[in-house]
Amino acid sequence: MTGPVLSHPVFASIQGAIEFIFTPQTSNVTGGKTVGGIDQVIELALTQLELTALAMAAALIVALPIGLYLGHRGTGELFAIAMGNLGRAIPELALIAFMAALIGVGVLNLTIALAVLGVPPILANSFVGIHQVDRASVDAARGIGMSEFEILRKVEIPLAIPTIFAGIRGAAVAIVATATIAPIAGVLTLGDFIINQNVYGDNGVLAGAILVALLALVIEFSLAGLQRRLTSKGLRLKAT
Amino acid sequence: MASLGALPLAAVGEVGKGFIHERTSETLPCQATSKFFCWDWAKEHLISRYETPTFQHLELVVISVAVGFVVAFALALLAHRYRWLQPPLLAGTGVLFTIPSVAFFFLLLPFTGRGRDTAIIALTAYTLQIIYRNTIIGLANVPSSVKDAARGMGLTERQTLWKVELPLALPEIFAGLQIATVSTVAIATLAAFAHGGGLGEPILREGISFKTNLIIAGGIAFLIAVSCGLLLYAIQRFLTPWRRAAAV
């Protein structure tokens, strides 16, 4: 497949991939097995979404309270920053494979492995976001009689939303991307089309790549939209 | 084998405290046991099995980050000069950043097929957003009083950029380079799916049941990532001595 970009084979493979997405076909690779089609696509996409949502929920439950608490207290900066930096260095493939080998395959175990990827960015960013809030605003809030929890909820979190959300979006992108390779740990996601070329053929591989890219973009854009809605009006005006 | 028997115990004593060692399985090849880590196997195969993947991995990362840096830095300079370019460039690099690497490799399938070049293109695309955004932020953070002073001293636009703005933006630019490098080292393990080589290759070849292999390959990738991060941090400190003075 060398040749110029707009050559015929490229269009043929894109067409093949789109056909694979919408109509079930007999695999010419495994001989006789029916693969592809919109039903299988939806099934695998839902699994990947479910896995991503579960892992995000787990990561948020663990990381957000710790990050917010440390940021509010202003302690543990080294811990939060080191977490963020070390988390980035974790090789995804090795992590998934290793967790599967250690605690077994299946949705629950994979959720734990994926959550491990989500914790560092959420923790580091919620810490930094809260920590960066102007101390004068916090003092003013304390001065008008807000409790520490109210300060966090009504002053610090609204001001830190952009930074906190950057962490959440980073985590979501990493988790949905890694959920693509979930089939190596026994959970069939859209990545199965990509990884098991010997079952789905090259049409399936390209179809899987297109679907995974779309799924990640949909998640990213939804979170960006959610962030805009959660950002207070005053901050939105300042940004423009 | 009798003489080798003492070796794993000595080594295990340091690190492997608490692990149960199945001495009965010692005669089996490591792949066939459920051992957490086989020191014998590791010692015997560390160089022969992992040297090539490690160098391939480094090659993937160095080329991707270098090309990514050149492109993203040029785009950032352009967008700094022509402000209207900033929103579309941020969105464009954002889309490239969001597309999962595994998907990106195979989106390129009709164009470049499988192999190292495909992996490098996808990894390069991934680094653009991080480096671009940090360079823009760094340039935006330069105080306008400093730029005024530069103009007052008679510096041209170009001189102001290269002698004043860019040096002051170095910490942010390096932070971007660091994040991009460390993440690329981690993500390059996925290049193996596209037959791009690297440290993911032994993992895919041996499967998930061979833990020793997973630990060595993953461990090397993790160590490379951490060392690259520390190295770039050290270079940044060296290049911006005024920040050190201010911090004291």
Give me the CATH number covering residue B59.
1.10.3720.10
Main-chain dihedrals φ then ψ at residue A105, nearest 5 degrees? -95, 175
Residue B154, domain member (yes or no): no
The count of structural domains within chain B is 1
Q: How many pairs of residues across A and B have Cβ atoms under 8 Å apart?
A: 140
Residue B248, domain member (yes or no): no
Residues of chain A in contact with residue B211, where contact means CB-CB under 8 angstroms, are 98, 101-102
Could you tell me the maximum CA-CA distance found in chain B, to the nearest angstrom?
Answer: 80
In this structure, of A8-22, A76-90, B194-208, the range with the lowest mean pLDDT score is A8-22
What is the rounded average pLDDT of the residues A11-22?
A: 86
Q: Is the dihedral of CA A17, A18, A22, A25 positive or negative?
A: negative
Q: What is the chain B residue with the closest CA to A117?
A: B186
Residue B83, domain member (yes or no): yes
Domain that residue B211 falls in? 48-140+170-241
Closest alpha carbon to A191 in A173, A175, A217, A209: A209
Residue B205, domain member (yes or no): yes
Residue A53, domain member (yes or no): yes
pLDDT in tens, A52-110: 999 999 999 999 999 999 999 988 889 998 988 899 999 999 999 988 888 888 888 89
Q: What is the DSSP string of A64-111?
A: HHHHHHHHHHT--HHHHHHHHHHHHTS-HHHHHHHHHHHH-SSHHHHH
Element (H, E) at A158: helix A157-179
Residue A133, domain member (yes or no): yes
Do β-strands A34-35 and A25-26 pair in parallel, antiparallel, or remain unpaired?
antiparallel
> What is the band of A4 on the pLDDT scale with cuts at 50, 70, 90?
low
Residue A7, domain member (yes or no): no
Residue B13, domain member (yes or no): no
- ipTM of the modeled complex: 0.87
Residue B41, domain member (yes or no): no
Residue B246, domain member (yes or no): no
Q: How far apart are CA B178 and CA B237, in angstroms?
A: 13
Domain that residue A179 falls in? 46-189+214-239
In this structure, of A192-196, B9-13, B49-53, B95-99, the range with the lowest mean pLDDT score is B9-13
Q: Are B56 and B201 spatial neighbours (Cβ–Cβ below 8 Å)?
A: yes
The count of structural domains within chain A is 1
Give pLDDT, residue B44. 81
Kindly report the pTM of this predicted structure.
0.86
Give pLDDT, residue B43. 81
A46 touches B: beta carbon within 8 Å = no
Q: What is the CATH number of the domain that holds A232?
A: 1.10.3720.10
Q: Are B177 and B69 spatial neighbours (Cβ–Cβ below 8 Å)?
A: yes
Give pLDDT, residue B74. 97
Q: Cβ of A65: how many Cβ atoms within 10 Å?
A: 12
A92 touches B: beta carbon within 8 Å = yes
Through-space distance between the first and last CA atoms of chain B, rounded to whole angstroms: 58
> What is the band of A237 on the pLDDT scale with cuts at 50, 70, 90?
low
Give pLDDT, residue A6. 56
Residue A31, domain member (yes or no): no
Q: Write out residues 199-218 of A within 8 Å (CB-CB) of B.
A: 202, 205-206, 208-210, 212-213, 216-217
Residue A19, domain member (yes or no): no
Q: What is the DSSP string of B169-203?
A: HHHHHHHHHHHHHHHHHHHGGGGGGGT--STHHHH
Q: Mutate which of B35, B37, B214, B224 to test chain A, going by most A C-beta atoms within 10 A?
A: B214
Q: What is the chain B residue with the closest CA to A184?
A: B208
In this structure, of A223-232, B92-101, B221-230, the range with the lowest mean pLDDT score is A223-232
The alpha carbons of chain A give a radius of gyration, in whole angstroms, of 22
